[in-house]
Amino acid sequence: MDNPAPLASSVSVAYLQGLLDYLGRHGVEPAGLLARVQLSADILAQRDQRIAASTYLELLAQGVKLSGDDALGLHLGEAVRPGYYGVLGYLIMSCATLADALHRQARYAALVGNLGRVDLADEPPRAGLEPQVAHSWQPWLPQQQRQLSEETLAGWVTFGHWISGLDIPPTEVRFQHPAPPDTREHQRIFRCPVLFGQADNALVFPKRLLAAPLGQADVQVRLMLDAYADRLLNEIKQGHSVLDRARLELARQLPESGADLRLIAAALALSPRTLQRRLREAGLSFNHLVDETRQQLVLHYLRDPALELAEIAFLVGFSEPGSLARAFRRWTGQSPGEYRRHLLG
């Protein structure tokens, strides 16, 4: 069973910098925020380093609480800068058209943070409306879905206006989460109908805009950055980091050996202490790694209707389905059966 997404959830330090910069301008001191998830501020000097997705989501939750900003995700997206997207930001800027940029954005999104799936598809025809496309995003994890979805789509709008020079609002914006009590900031930022409780998270806009030329197009820069982005993407897919290698090894060992720090460390040719230190540098303890890996695997396995809950419990190292059910309710607030029924319709 193919599962490229669940075991590779991480976020680049360049993207983390965007969160810290914004909160810093609003009185939340970065070092203190990082300390809440046992991350050292030294990590900010390593822009190619990656942190666990769950750590970024926890920082996002802490940011909402400390800033008192219920629309933090929207405001982060509005404040996005090319550097926060790392090499992808500069690659997108060098593309010839908006279509080229969105193609690369979908292909290389994992370089920024593989927190969800990006797609671009034609919208069904609507009477009286020119052909439309939907640029959509589906998160992999259930935590902080509102903030993350709003950050992603607001960031796309902001960056899209910036690289194209076109100040054209989307035709509509759709979110899966329920409408928050106050949607004035959504209206201000998107300037179009914003729908909640929808089947997807998407920006809908006229298809003709895909042909819009980009002002900073540069073929030579694009070719160079394409090659660099390909190399970085392959490194992520192959799990070169200790975090990714530990996740993959843990997934292999969970059905047979459970979560055994010594066995995982031995498989990676590290001492248990060294493995714990390297995980801390990515923002995770070993126990958090186990919990996060189980969660990502379970969310993935539930998409396969042929797998019984008892089988899923075994595959992720739980002794019986009751343990899986208790953990799943802690992760999502739902039972595995409720989640699966909603997922599979």
- Region 313-323: mean pLDDT is 88
Q: What is the pLDDT of residue 10?
A: 81
Query: 294 or 72, which is more confident?
Result: 72
Q: DSSP states of 38-93 as a string? A: T--GGGGG-TT-EEEHHHHHHHHHHHHHHHT-TTHHHHHHHT--GGGGTHHHHHHH
β-strands 194-195, 50-52: how paired?
unpaired
What confidence category does residue 72 fall into, taking pLDDT thresholds of 50, 70 and 90?
Answer: very high
Q: What is the pLDDT of residue 239?
A: 60
* Tens digit of each residue's pLDDT (9 = 90 or more) over 87-136: 899 999 999 999 999 999 888 988 888 788 899 999 999 999 999 999 99
Six token digits for residue 37: 């998830």
Query: 278 or 7, which is more confident?
Result: 278
Q: List Cβ neighbours of 27 (8 Å cut-off, separation of 6 or more).
A: 67
What fold characterizes domain 242-344?
Arc Repressor Mutant, subunit A (1.10.10)
* Tens digit of each residue's pLDDT (9 = 90 or more) over 28-71: 999 899 988 888 888 888 776 788 888 898 999 999 999 999 99
* Tens digit of each residue's pLDDT (9 = 90 or more) over 262-283: 999 998 889 999 999 888 877 7
Q: What is the pLDDT of residue 279?
A: 85
Q: Is the pLDDT of residue 2 over 60?
A: no
Query: pTM for this one?
Result: 0.76
What confidence category does residue 207 fall into, taking pLDDT thresholds of 50, 70 and 90?
Answer: very high
Q: What is the pLDDT of residue 5?
A: 44
Q: DSSP states of 236-267 as a string? A: HHTT-SHHHHHHHHHHHHHHHH-S-HHHHHHH
Q: What is the pLDDT of residue 240?
A: 58
What fold characterizes domain 6-237?
H-NOX domain (3.90.1520)
Nearest-angstrom CA–CA distance, 114 and 57? 12
Whole-number Cα distances in Å, 97 to 156, 165, 298: 15, 12, 39
Taking every pair of Cα atoms in the chain, the longest distance, rounded to a whole number of angstroms, is 66
Give the residue extent of every domain in the chain: 6-237, 242-344
